[in-house]
Structures are given as structure tokens and as C-alpha cells.
Amino acid sequence: MGAVTDDEVIRKRLLIDGDGAGDDRRINLLLKSFTKWCHSPGSPEEGFTQYQRMLGTLAQCEFSMGKTLMVYDMNLREMENYEKIYSNIEQSIMSAHDKIGECKKEIQRAKRIRKNRQEYDALAKVIQQHPDRHETLKQLEALDKELQQLSHIKENVDAKLELRKKQFHVLLTTIQELQQTLEIDEKSDSDDHSQESPAENGE
Amino acid sequence: MGPVELLHMSVFSQSFSPCGRFLAAGNNYGEIALFSLAAALSPDATAANQKPVLTFTAHEGPVFSLLSTDCVLLSSGNGEVSSWSWTELTKKNVKPLWTKRPNYKSGLEIPEINSMVINPRDNSLAIGAGDNNIHILDLEHGAFKATLQGHTDYLHCVCMREREAELLSGGEDGAVRMWDSRTGQCVHCIEVYKYESCARPRYGKWISCLTTDSDWMLCGGGPSLSLWHLRSLSPTSVFPLRGCQRQAAFHQDMILAVGEGAFVSHCLLGGEVKAQIPCTPPSLNTMQLNTKSSEHRVLTVGGGSSNIDVFTNLSYRAFSLSF
């Protein structure tokens, strides 16, 4: 207590008496009137009135003290309330941060999906330019069948040609043989004739 | 850099650092500039943050191609490839780790290197060179392993098809060739200009931009930018973009393309052009997305001016870095 300087005391007193002129003065006056009343030689009525007056002042002091206590309580509760709001806001900031991170990831994912879709579209465009596989297969089958038919016909025609060739060959050889036989006969006939005529001429 | 040189500057290549905080850009004077993205994107960035933190002359000729691996930056210029360590570059130390030259047959002219790509499976670098060949450099041993021959004119672009371990290359002769990276044989050859839907005879037959995501391929240049399905080797969509496209990329569900014209085109896989976002250079040569970093996820484009536009949101240009 002795270490507290005068300045501190003055500062504290000024602080305490800051809210309304007179609380401190009231207490001092009460103290003075109490000592005066204790030492006063006056009549009992005066003493009684002074006593009543002192009680009134005391009541006033108690009232103002009660008021200050209530204000203090209120301030404490307000502080708590603000603390709560502060922590709520901090939490929502954190969750907003998290949500932003999530959204960024979502955007990356969506961009990738979009890129894949576009690649798919680009390829699909190229593929569409080529004709349908089923149609091409059907065309191939039809062409195959036609090819088979045509080769079949070709075989038939070839066989017929061979047959005809052989028949003609037989016919021609027969004719030639007949021709040869006829020539031989003619020759032998003319020989016979020429043999007979010199024989006739010789006689 | 006088004002006249700045006026004539073109940015040909860009690459992000492995940590994603720096951007390296190469221009036609052979310089590489390093920009700090972390500083330029911070809330209290000033105009000074949009200037490079380091500019150095890397090659004698234009730097047509820049590529980043986990710890080095590879740059190409005047027929040679140089390697720079990223940690050294951030400390402003501009000594290259090594400089190599592929074995060119013709001794007289110096073929330029237009494009490079890394094959992560066997840690090799495929270099598309102006002598019509692809040179494969083994990054572990530092020796040239193989030369893929087949193109009849110089190469514009190479890219890697990860899943099937194939290399795709596009060149001035209008052919897109697919090479098996293990055997070095040319597996397929697509002559894009022969397809009626893509061909634009008045622009020519050269292929200047090629990109793939293993199933699909985007290619364009003289012919229109078109989306190809690689399994069936058929064009599925043709994009009605005027001008020749120089770089294209797949991004989420969209296709981004840059080329002639002061805009970045956003297209859908179906063939529609969704949006064309304007930007400062009059025509664009290079476009890069910073996929390695999560907080500096930007798209940067550079082209026929000394400005590199930075897009923090794909829908509009945020600001420009300048040489």
C-alpha cells in the first residue's frame, strides 16, 4: 500500500468518480454528517431528523452501488455474447474457406469432364464421316454373293465351252479321216484305171 | 540499350525457373533477361520491379529457345547450346556451365537451333536444328548420342509425347514426323498441308507450332491450327484463326494459341474460338504458363516488342514486364 504513488491514487479516484458528480462527495458528506451527529449536542428531534437524513443518503448510496453492479453484470454478459458471435463468425469463415476449396476442386473436375466430352465430340465428328459398319458389312456380303454367282456362271460357261470344243474336235477328226479314206479310195481307183488302160493299149 | 534497339527488339523465348519465382526471356540480340516474378506480383510492386533483375549477353545470335530443367537453364543461340545454373543466375553470376555444339555436316553456314525439348525418361535433350536434323544430347555424359534425319528442310519445333516415348518434330517442309526415342526411327510422317481441311496454300506449308498431350496433337503454322487425334492420325478440328500460329498449349479444357495478331486466342476443343484477349506486342512469338509454382501461376507472352505481358487471370492482361 505504501508503494502506491500519489499519482495512482489520484488517477484511480478520478476514474471512480467519473460517472456522476457526487457519489464520492455523497459518501464524504455522509461520513462528515455522521461524525457531526455523533458529537452534536442538539435536541433529540433534530438528532432524529439528521438520522433520517443520513439514512436517506445511505439509501441513495446503496442504490447507486446496486445500479453500478447491475451495469457491470450487463457488461460481462455482453462480452460473453460478443465472444460467442466472434467464434461463430470465425467458424463460418473456416467453413467458407473449406467450401471454396471444395468448389475449386469441383471446377477442376468439371473442366476435365468438359475436356473429355469435347474430345469425344471431336472424335465422333470424324467417325460420323465414315459410313456405318453394318451397312458396309452388308454391302460386302452382297458383293461376295455376286462374286460367287458370277464365278459359278463362269465355271458353267467354261465347262460348256470345253464340251463343245471336244465335240467339234471329234467331228473334225472324223471328217478328216473320211476325207483321207476317200482320197485313198480315189487314188487307188485312178491307179486301177491307169493299170488297166496300158494293159488294154498293150493288146 | 538505346531506344532504337528497344524498338527493334523481339522476344523469342521464355522459361520459368524450377522454383517458379523467376522468368528468363531471350531476345533477338542474344541477351537473356531474368525477371523476378515474386517481386513483380507482390502487392507493393513498383515500376522498377517490372524491369529485369539481371540482363546478360548469352550468345552472339538470337536466343530462339530456352528450356529449364530442375537446376539448369538451357539456352540456344547461333548453333550452340549453353547451360546456366539457376542458383548461380539468381546470384547474378553469368558464367555458363557448359556450351556445346552439335556436329553439323556442312561447315560453311551455321544452322540455328529453333527448339529444344527434354526427354525425361533417359535424361536427354532433343535439339531441332537448322541442318534438317534432330540431334540428341545425353545430359548425363554430355555427348551427342544420335542424329535423327528425315526432314528435308529446317526444323521449327520439337515436342515430346510422354506416354509413348516419342518425339514429334515439325519443320519448314510441312511434315510432322514422329520418332521413336529409343530406336531413333521415324514412325509416322504426316504432311499437314495435304489435308484439305487444314491447308492454307497462300501461307505456305511450314509447321511452326507443335504441342501434344499424348493422345492429341495441335499443329499449325502455314496450315491452320488443327487438333489431331494421334491414334488414328486424323484431323478432328480446325480452328478458324487468321494468321499463322507460333505457339499453342493445352490448358485445362481449353486451347491457348498465340501467333500473328496482338492477342491470345482461347479456343475450345470443338473448334470454336471462345475469346481473343488483346495484348501489347503486335505479334506474339512465345507463351508460357507457370505451372511449377502455386502462388505465381501466371501466363506470360512475348513477341515483337520489348514488353512481356503477364496475365494473372487468363481473361485480361495484368501488367507488362519490359527489357
Per CB-CB distance under 8 Å, the chain A contacts of B271 are 122
Per CB-CB distance under 8 Å, the chain A contacts of B227 are 122
Q: What is the pLDDT of residue B135?
A: 92
Terminal-residue alpha carbon distance, chain A: 206
Q: What is the pLDDT of residue A25?
A: 81
- Tell me the sheet residues that pair with B27: B11
d(CA B172, CA B117): 18
B249 in A contact zone (CB under 8 Å)? no
Q: Which helix (H) or strand (E) holds B83?
A: strand B80-85
Task: Find the CB nearest A126 among B234, B268, B270.
Answer: B234
Question: What is the bridge-based pairing of β-strands B80-85 and B98-100?
Answer: antiparallel
d(CA B19, CA B291): 10
Terminal-residue alpha carbon distance, chain B: 9
Task: Find the CB nearest B216 among A108, A112, A119.
Answer: A119
Q: Which residue of A has its CA nearest to B272?
A: A118
State the maximum Cα–Cα separation within chain A, in Å, rounded to a whole number: 235
Nearest chain B CA: its distance from A96 CA (Å): 20
Distances (CA, A) of A147 to A133, A143, A144, A158: 21, 6, 5, 16
C-alpha cell at A62: 446503496
Distances (CA, A) of A132 to A136, A138, B69, B106: 6, 10, 49, 53
Kindly determine whether residue B253 and residue A123, on different chains, have CB atoms separated by under 8 Å: no
Kindly determine whether residue B269 and residue A118, on different chains, have CB atoms separated by under 8 Å: yes
Cell 461524525 found at: A35
Q: What is the pLDDT of residue B104?
A: 84
pLDDT < 70 stretches in chain A: 1-4, 17-21, 197-203
Nearest chain A CA: its distance from B252 CA (Å): 6
Per CB-CB distance under 8 Å, the chain A contacts of B217 are none
B144 in A contact zone (CB under 8 Å)? no
Nearest chain A CA: its distance from B69 CA (Å): 27
Can you tell me whether residue B112 is helix, strand or coil?
coil
A100: left (phi over 0), alpha (psi -120 to 50) or beta: alpha
CA B162 to chain CA centroid, nearest Å: 17
Nearest chain B CA: its distance from A67 CA (Å): 52
d(CA B222, CA B207): 6
Task: Find the CB nearest A123 among B236, B252, B271.
Answer: B236
> B237 phi and psi, to 5 degrees?
-140, 145
Cell 529457345 found at: B65
Kindly determine whether residue A122 and residue B229, on different chains, have CB atoms separated by under 8 Å: yes
Task: Find the CB nearest A122 among B252, B253, B270.
Answer: B270
Mention every residue, 6+ apart, whose C-beta is less than 8 A from residue B162. B120, B214
Q: What is the pLDDT of residue A130?
A: 84
Which residues 63-82 in chain A show a CB within 8 A of chain B? none
C-alpha cell at A186: 480315189
d(CA B39, CA B174): 42
Kindly determine whether residue A115 and residue B216, on different chains, have CB atoms separated by under 8 Å: no
A126 in B contact zone (CB under 8 Å)? yes
Residue-wise burial string across A155-185, b where 16 or more C-beta atoms lie within 10 A, e elsewhere: eeeeeeeeeeeeeeeeeeeeeeeeeeeeeee
Kindly determine whether residue B252 and residue A125, on different chains, have CB atoms separated by under 8 Å: no
Task: Give burial (CB, 10 Å; 0-12/13-18/19+) of A78.
Answer: exposed
Angle at A105 between CA A101 and CA A110, to 5 degrees: 145
d(CA B14, CA B75): 10
Cβ atoms < 10 Å from Cβ of B322: 17
- Is the CA virtual torsion B33, B34, B38, B44 positive or negative? negative
Q: Which residue of B has its CA nearest to A108?
A: B252
State the maximum Cα–Cα separation within chain B, in Å, rounded to a whole number: 54
Kindly determine whether residue B237 and residue A125, on different chains, have CB atoms separated by under 8 Å: yes
Kindly determine whether residue B271 and residue A121, on different chains, have CB atoms separated by under 8 Å: no
Per CB-CB distance under 8 Å, the chain A contacts of B234 are 126
Nearest chain A CA: its distance from B234 CA (Å): 8
Kindly determine whether residue B227 and residue A122, on different chains, have CB atoms separated by under 8 Å: yes
- Tell me the sheet residues that pair with B256: B249, B266
Print pLDDT tens along chain B (323 aa). 788 988 999 999 999 999 989 999 999 999 999 999 988 988 888 888 889 999 999 999 899 999 999 899 999 988 899 999 999 998 988 899 999 988 887 777 788 899 999 999 889 999 998 889 999 999 988 899 999 999 999 999 999 998 888 999 999 999 999 999 888 899 999 999 999 888 998 999 999 999 998 889 999 999 999 999 998 898 999 999 988 999 999 998 899 999 998 999 999 988 899 999 999 999 999 999 998 888 888 999 999 999 999 999 889 999 999 98
pTM score, whole prediction: 0.73
Q: What is the pLDDT of residue B296?
A: 85
For chain A, the three-class secondary structure string (H helix, E strand, C coil) is: CCCCCHHHHHHHHHHHCCCCCCHHHHHHHHHHHHHHHHHCCCCHHHHHHHHHHHHHHHHHHHHHHHHHHHHHHHHHHHHHHHHHHHHHHHHHHHHHHHHHHHHHHHHHHHHHHHHHHHHHHHHHHHHHHCCCHHHHHHHHHHHHHHHHHHHHHHHHHHHHHHHHHHHHHHHHHHHHHHHHHHHHHHHHHHHHHHHHHHHHHHC
CB B286 within 8 A of CB B303: yes
